Structure 1
């Protein structure tokens, strides 16, 4: 029988393998818009892919089955010209009203490990199928929810903040300034929240596109402070991939208004179908302009 500590490590690894970007293999998911700043109504094309080097069409497409485009008025916009390829998926839309738009893709997977007899097994699926698909004689059942969010922002004319307001659900990025007013040489402050509370001690990675034209990745690594805040100084213009994920532990909220801290993986509690442990990942594509 698998020891409890090993079982917990197994469920952690299983959940992380389903949460993009896959840190262990450097598989990074992303949305890449053709432009993020428009002066008027123009068509926008957005590619969605998974690759080692960000924004490179290499490993495969990012699924768009949970794609949402939200306009400045808070209403959803239907994507057009959806296409599915071997290296990327893509879609288009035509923002017409002034303000800031958000395109997002959400991936959510329920994972469980369990022991049946002398065999250790893994399951993934939907919550409604859990009871009938997990054997009645299963022991050491541990359930985890893998959540991954991918976002990018497009602004027509004057920026607006409707799509920037946090929903206080899951891992969210709060921007202290308009997402399309980022300039090379400037320093921008951000904040991460988990279920509406500051996400403290969260590792953040920022990678500029175009790695194939450099001899190094150019990654910026930082960490959120006690209030979930962090800052990034933009060395150059271009598209940037920003990601945060709780790779080695569970996000814990200790009380109302408190910050969220990372608990080491060896201390992970056992998750149940009613209260699974959670693995959360957030990725944004941001364009930095030349001043």
Structure 2
């Protein structure tokens, strides 16, 4: 009889345009599949070189949003930030799958004024671009940034309501539910770019615990014409998945990076 080991899941996707970053951003839940009708999950959140190891800076928690299984907004509780990591709790009171995400968008760019190139003010968006540009500005150059780091936690049976795409940036539309992954078996994920299949998207998957092994164990995949990838998990454990477009290498500021695919154990 074959023993099946479950890899509870989370996925991160990143769309960035700008300078390359050296560190990976990630969130790590204390559990990803739970039973009962009322439960709590504690999440560690950090930016680091070694996945799931605190050694650089904490992730800020003010931009983290919780989506409950029915699509309504939840909230984080007991948030605290230390030297190397942040931590917070999520109270699960509805059956189904929750999304815990750190999502941000922005606009980077520059313009010419009086013969000198100037940068757009920090925090400029498409909506505020016109007011951010001074009179007489010419040769305006901009690049949009959309940054998404997310994990998924399920109370009881998995549900799919939260996976409805927004049509902005890179998003994952799972074929295989991210909280129903099993080592040794193939899982399929579809990626969308601004709401359309992200054909040719480069996806990187790295097992956690790289600080204590000699090889990175990285898997590099390319999405097919439908934006889909298939991955067979080599072993139970934590996995970080990252997708990036826009000329930035793996690791931008999701802060910085990606996210875990989770604590594994017997189903």
Structure 2 residue runs of 5 or longer lacking an equivalent are: 1-15, 249-255
Partner residue of 1:152? 151
- Matches of residues 40-59 of structure 1 in structure 2 within 5 Å? 40=36, 41-59=38-56
How many residues are treated as equivalent by the alignment? 241
Aligned CA RMSD, in angstroms, stands at: 2.2
- In 2: Cα distance, 1:112 partner to 1:32 partner: 33
Partner residue of 2:10? none
TM-score, with structure 2 as normaliser: 0.82
Partner residue of 1:34? 30
Q: Indicate if the aligned counterparts of 1:184 and 1:290 stay in contact, CA closer than 8 A.
A: no
The answer on 1:89 being equivalent to 2:86 is yes
- In 1: Cα distance, 2:186 partner to 2:119 partner: 44
Question: SS state of the match for residue 177, structure 2?
Answer: coil
Which protein has greater RCO, CA pairs closer than 8 Å, 6+ apart?
Answer: 2
Structure 1 residue runs of 5 or longer lacking an equivalent are: 1-13, 18-23, 250-280
Partner residue of 1:289? 264
Runs of 4+ in structure 1 displaced over 6 angstroms?
A: none
CA offsets 1:266-287 (integer angstroms, 9 cap, x no match): xxxxxxxxxxxxxxx9844322
- In 2: Cα distance, 1:29 partner to 1:35 partner: 19
- In 2: Cα distance, 1:213 partner to 1:284 partner: 19
Cα displacement (A) at 1:132: 4.2
Cα displacement (A) at 1:247: 3.4
Cα displacement (A) at 1:246: 0.4
The answer on 1:61 being equivalent to 2:58 is yes
TM-score, with structure 1 as normaliser: 0.76
Q: Indicate if the aligned counterparts of 2:147 and 2:169 stay in contact, CA closer than 8 A.
A: no
CA offsets 1:126-165 (integer angstroms, 9 cap, x no match): 3355344433233321111111001101111211111123
- In 2: Cα distance, 1:200 partner to 1:282 partner: 21
CA offsets 1:73-95 (integer angstroms, 9 cap, x no match): 11111211011222122210121
- In 1: Cα distance, 2:96 partner to 2:47 partner: 29
